[in-house]
Amino acid sequence: MSVYTLDTVFNSLVTVLVPICVCVVLPVTIVWIVMKAKKNEVNRKSEILLKAIESGVAIDTNLFKTEQRHISTKERLLKRLTGACVTTFIGIAIIISSCITWSRYGENIHADNIQFPLLAGCTLLAVGIALFIVFFTGKKMLAKEIEAEEQGLEQK
């Protein structure tokens, strides 16, 4: 007969509930919040439309158009540069922290506890380096398009 202590029950409950909350509850909540925000926006626009119809005012058709902002080539490249910096720095930080942990605890640490963070850090570092390559290559290849877009903005 096994004796369940409060600590073991709590640990087993946490190991079950945390993945369920992260994998089920969190995505459902995010979708619910986004849908509620869209529904709220549609309701506000329909109220404005109803009041405009009731008062006999001309209806602005631009009110119901969705706003689509044009993202320039330069902005897309800068987003890649930001992603490259973030993934590279996170990868380096994970690799350094894994090496510090390994050097501090040495043989007392299990190999699996150090291999996964090192693998994740190396993967993030590789993705960051790839994004840097994409940024610099894209910057060189799209220099004329970026210059044309900037001249078009200056003329406006």
Domain boundaries, the chain: 6-64, 73-155
Those residues of the chain that have pLDDT short of 50 are 1
φ/ψ region of 76 (left if φ > 0, alpha if ψ in -120 to 50, else beta) reads alpha
pLDDT of residue 63: 67
**What is the secondary structure of 10-23 as a DSSP string?**
HHHHHHHHHHHIII
pTM for the structure as a whole: 0.56
pLDDT of residue 123: 95
